[in-house]
Amino acid sequence: MKKVYYLLILVVFVLGLSACNNNSAKETYIDTYQDLLDANSYEVTSSFSLNIQADPMPDDQDVQMVLELLNNAEITAESRVDMEQGISEVILSLQTNQGPLSFNLDIPIHIDDNNEQLYIKTDVLNDVMELFPVMPLPADFSFEKEFIELDVYSDLDNEDQKMLEQQYRKEMNSLFDQLPEENFQENDNVFELNIEGDQIKQLLVTLIESTIEHSGEILDPADKQELEHVIEQITFTTFTIQSKIENGQLQNEKVSFGLEAEEGHEKVNIDISVINSYSKINEAIDFALEPTEENTMTQRELEQLISEMMMEMMFHPY
């Protein structure tokens, strides 16, 4: 699961990093980017905003509702990462509304890379079942265990994952090296990086190809053609990262990018903004979640419980 964090850092969260020394803006930027990737630990608080506009607006009311929910969403994430222990935690928070409909959802996630295990709290499933009542639950229902262990790990072994991570870093380094100095600007410890849309698209294609190659999968020619077609329809209109550093460390950054996809007479514009605030880089990390064998149920046990509940509901409706 380490590659998940590298992807988040490389592609969305930390494309732009900066440091304060006598190097050029570009050299400082790249050095700080490398320092964060090499960090043993860090905490980051992130907020995301999304705006999607369709032209023409779809007639389907369900699609309109989903677009409004997404555009109104307030998404935050609090992440703690300790690379030496191989432990990470993320608490995702989502708030959104559409007309009279609104909901809040917190999703605490604990990841143990060494044992290849991912845990979420059972409270999350309770909340989801209440928000989306696909299966009615008894009024007094509650899970006996505090955590659920989910089988979400990639089929890649650790060695392949390391190779894939190295390939991602190589591609990012190559992109930075090719960028001209004028793409990097600095003003009062705030570094700004602007990347052209074609460069972002090429990076996206390269990362997808690397992932497929290292996974050992062979794309069906039709699937490959469809993927190429989808990427061809995407145009990155803006990509800007503003990063602030103090005392040689990254403090915060804002990543803003826009893209549009067009096919026939339909066009969709998407603008995304991510704000990250970093702390405790290379410091001791305190984790809030403590899953153990005693307080955790497996995914198989969860599936069996749901199956039993569905059978009970069929024969003895509440």
186-195 pLDDT per residue, tens: 999 898 999 8
pLDDT of residue 304: 87
Lowest mean pLDDT among 30-34, 94-98, 295-299: 30-34
Higher pLDDT, 22 or 206: 206
Which of 90, 97, 94 is closest to 65 using CA atoms? 97
List phi, psi (to 5°) of 57. Answer: -65, 130
Where do the DSSP E strands lie in 14-100?
41-55, 74-82, 87-98
What is the mean predicted confidence (pLDDT) over 216-243?
81
* Position 11 pLDDT exceeds 80: no
Confidence of residue 171 (pLDDT cuts 50, 70, 90): confident
* Position 271 pLDDT exceeds 90: yes
Report percent pLDDT > 90 for the chain.
34
Confidence of residue 143 (pLDDT cuts 50, 70, 90): confident
pLDDT of residue 127: 80
pLDDT of residue 13: 38
Mean pLDDT score across all residues of the chain: 81
* Position 2 pLDDT exceeds 60: no
- Asked if 157 and 150 touch (Cβ cutoff 8 Å), the reply is no
Confidence of residue 28 (pLDDT cuts 50, 70, 90): confident
Averaging pLDDT over each range in 179-183, 203-207, 275-279, which range is the top one? 275-279
Higher pLDDT, 280 or 56: 280
Higher pLDDT, 226 or 140: 226
pTM: 0.79
- Which two tokens mark 83? 């690379």
Residue 84, classed as helix, strand or coil, is: coil
Region for residue 288 given its phi and psi (left: phi exceeds 0; alpha: psi -120 to 50; beta: otherwise)? alpha
Residue 8, classed as helix, strand or coil, is: helix
The Cα–Cα gap between 200 and 94 comes to 28
pLDDT of residue 166: 76
The Cα–Cα gap between 65 and 162 comes to 41
* Position 295 pLDDT exceeds 80: yes
